[in-house]
Structure 1
Amino acid sequence: MSAERTVHLPVAAQPSVETLVDLTQQAEELGYERAWLPETWGRDAVTSLTAMALGTEEIGLGPSILNVYSRSPALIGQTAATLQEVSDGRMRIGLGPSGPVVIQGWHGAEFDRPLRRTRETIDIVKNVLSGETVNYDGDCFTLAGFRLRCDAPETPPAIDAAGMGPKSVELAGRFADGWHATVFTPDGMRDRLEDLRRGVELGNRDADDVRVTLSLTCCALEDGERARKLARQHSAFYVGGMGTYYRDSLARQGYEELANDISSAWGSGDKERATELVGDELLDDLCAAGTPERAREEFQKFAEIEGVDAVAVGFPRGATVEDARETMTALAPNE
């Protein structure tokens, strides 16, 4: 059975919030189940998601991800409740630690105990969304005596956890409502799904209650070579330019030497060489890119992985708005 299709909207170089709303409206028209919006170091996800909610009617929405360092857990809970209200119950919240490059370099916070902090944030957010008084005594956070001053959502939004390593994926299975995965090969996904199942068992939970979403870099253009070039550049940036997390994750997936070579080339300033190192085999193992026909064929490898509930159509960093529109249309659920 093929997974549902969602869309992971691009944040790089978008001319306006209205552009994000327009892309979400197109995704809704094309039948995508949900539009995810990442939060990096550009527009904040919460304001943008509010505009997206007010500009659409049916499509599910969610941030992917809100990091657990730049907002307190209670504020994330308040935010989740408010987003659920303005979207009329269409929100799903993605949380995760992000990585030290962003947390230290952009937010100026210490990247401390990421797994523990993520677990406690999930606990607290769920407590806030219950509407009951929050009394919590954890290793990272201690809260006492407050509850939401507004009505709690009648249906609380589900809370997904992002993660790449075995322990973080196990955490998602044990404590979250879902796992949000990114930059995985098909075999790498299957390996981590075993960690997710272990977490589900440790939490004495039902596997059907833990939803798996894979964010997949896609580029489906009539100019297939340009599509693949954009996807190569994107992959090289994540492996080489976003700290060690993506490099280490790719190394765990059978590409250790290549991951280190890409990281080394990027780190020395040779971005062209780093991009060239993303050969066809690795590109097809991480992305669905090329002509519409080829991209659809590559996409199916990921959509048919047992245990993946939804694949989010993402876009390369260098993609234009028109590239995103063309890709969304080519990979739409009704295609």
Structure 2
Amino acid sequence: MTARTVHLPVAAQDSLSDVVGIGERAEELGYDRVWFPETWGRDAVTTLAALADRTDTIGVGTSIVNTYSRSAALLGQTAATLQEQSGGRFRLGLGPSGPAVVEGWHGQEFGNPLKRTREYVEAVRQVLSGEQVDYDGDVVQTRGFRLRQDPPEPVPEIDITGMGPKAVELAGRFADGWHALMFTQAGFEDRYADLRRGASLGNRDAEDVHTTFMLPCCALPDSDAARDLARQHLAFYVGGMGTFYRDAVARQGYEDAAETIHGAWQDGDRERAVASVSDDLLDALAAAGTPETVRQRVAKFAAVDGIDAIAVSFPRAADREVIDQTLAAVAPE
């Protein structure tokens, strides 16, 4: 059975307590895990520590923290600490992010993202083993590091994100899981073939790589209002978050739409960018409409071969009422 998880919102929440409250509500509704991404809002570590303290059974995880703003040793320490704080409920999701975040916000050169991701996975695993880490990579250099406390038990699993063929192949070869973001069903199936190839190269079974599919959802009695919020969300990511999302959508058969949305957004014409997210593209990338419609869409994605968990995410402009209605509408049965 496909697990049901929640991707906590990074925007439109007045306080840390409000964000944590969404996670508490997800636990009450029976969701398996809550993920928190780290962008330009609250940091993931503090947020997840607070969430672990106020919940009892639901899993917690990062989706994602980038591999440029923290060292591999520090990410290993962080994963060990959050595993301790959560009583064994933590899962580490990491990835390179993109130039808009890494260069624009953190002032780091966005170089060798795939090699950096692989080396981070390897080095963090060494940290979590509790043994001394002497890692001599092309990107990661760590000598003489060892956790002062006992290593975490169980050892947190490490997921990575990926949108392009080589990034997903990397996930299949080295990671415990893959986070799939901004995919149509056909697009996911294409990339899952890359994951299987990576698993084969690593002498692994692709079924042992836990795949989490991020799905923007918005379920409201007013279908048009729900779809408008989801349309705005997609336009922002395709148009305003660098070129990775634009390129990913283009690779999935929507090249003209992706270029139009990105171009309009970059020109400051937000209205045209949003209007360029057609109903077809919206339904290919999201589940938005009435509660019944959204439940059907989520179930359709959940039935796709290779998807182990659906991560319900919310439009970036969704307020708490919209989030609560959507959470309830697609909660595990």
Which whole-Å CA distance do the structure 2 matches of 1:123 and 1:70 have between them?
17
Residue type of the alignment partner of 1:96: G
Which whole-Å CA distance do the structure 1 matches of 2:165 and 2:207 have between them?
20
Per-residue deviation at 1:117? 0.5
Corresponding position of 1:196:
195
Question: Contact 2:73 / 2:145 at 8 angstroms: preserved in 1?
Answer: no
Residue type of the alignment partner of 2:81: T
Question: Contact 2:29 / 2:332 at 8 angstroms: preserved in 1?
Answer: yes
Gaps of 5+ in 2: none
Residue type of the alignment partner of 1:140: V
Question: Contact 1:95 / 1:162 at 8 angstroms: preserved in 2?
Answer: yes
Which whole-Å CA distance do the structure 2 matches of 1:327 and 1:113 have between them?
38
Question: Contact 1:214 / 1:308 at 8 angstroms: preserved in 2?
Answer: yes
Corresponding position of 1:291:
290
Per-residue deviation at 1:16? 0.9
Corresponding position of 2:39:
40
Corresponding position of 1:217:
216
Corresponding position of 1:164:
163
Residue type of the alignment partner of 2:98: G
Which whole-Å CA distance do the structure 1 matches of 2:159 and 2:248 have between them?
19
Question: Contact 1:158 / 1:177 at 8 angstroms: preserved in 2?
Answer: yes
Secondary structure of the structure 1 residue equivalent to 2:88:
coil
Corresponding position of 2:326:
327
Corresponding position of 1:206:
205
Secondary structure of the structure 1 residue equivalent to 2:103:
helix
Secondary structure of the structure 2 residue equivalent to 1:105:
coil
Corresponding position of 1:6:
5
Task: Map 1:9-158 to 2 at 5 A.
Answer: 9-158=8-157
**Residue 186 of structure 2 is aligned to residue 187 of structure 1:** yes
**Which runs of 4 or more aligned residues in structure 1 lie more than 4 Å from their structure 2 counterparts after TM superposition?**
none
Matched-pair identity in %: 62
Per-residue deviation at 1:205? 1.0
Residue type of the alignment partner of 2:61: G
Question: Contact 2:207 / 2:306 at 8 angstroms: preserved in 1?
Answer: no
Q: Encode CA deviations 1:61-118: one digit per residue, 9 max, x unaligned.
A: 0010010000000000000000000000000110001110011111111111111111
Aligned length: 333
TM-score, length of structure 1 as denominator length: 0.98
Residue type of the alignment partner of 1:53: A
Q: Encode CA deviations 1:34-62: one digit per residue, 9 max, x unaligned.
A: 00011101110000000000000000000
Corresponding position of 1:275:
274
Per-residue deviation at 1:207? 2.0
Per-residue deviation at 1:301? 2.0
Q: Encode CA deviations 1:269-311: one digit per residue, 9 max, x unaligned.
A: 1111110111110000000000101111111221111000000
Per-residue deviation at 1:256? 0.8
Which whole-Å CA distance do the structure 2 matches of 1:172 and 1:224 have between them?
36
Corresponding position of 2:315:
316
Per-residue deviation at 1:258? 1.1
Gaps of 5+ in 1: none
Corresponding position of 1:228:
227
**Residue 262 of structure 2 is aligned to residue 263 of structure 1:** yes
Query: What is the root-mean-square deviation of aligned Cα atoms in Å?
Result: 0.8
Question: Contact 1:186 / 1:301 at 8 angstroms: preserved in 2?
Answer: no
Secondary structure of the structure 2 residue equivalent to 1:313:
strand
Secondary structure of the structure 2 residue equivalent to 1:129:
helix
Question: Contact 2:123 / 2:133 at 8 angstroms: preserved in 1?
Answer: yes
- Say which is worse superposed, 95-104 or 292-301, in terms of deviation: 292-301
Which whole-Å CA distance do the structure 1 matches of 2:3 and 2:41 have between them?
28
Which whole-Å CA distance do the structure 2 matches of 1:143 and 1:269 have between them?
44
TM-score, length of structure 2 as denominator length: 0.99
Per-residue deviation at 1:206? 2.1
Q: Encode CA deviations 1:178-197: one digit per residue, 9 max, x unaligned.
A: 00011100000000000000
Residue type of the alignment partner of 2:144: G
Question: Contact 2:184 / 2:252 at 8 angstroms: preserved in 1?
Answer: yes
Question: Contact 2:260 / 2:273 at 8 angstroms: preserved in 1?
Answer: yes
Which whole-Å CA distance do the structure 1 matches of 2:23 and 2:145 have between them?
36
Which whole-Å CA distance do the structure 1 matches of 2:122 and 2:13 have between them?
34
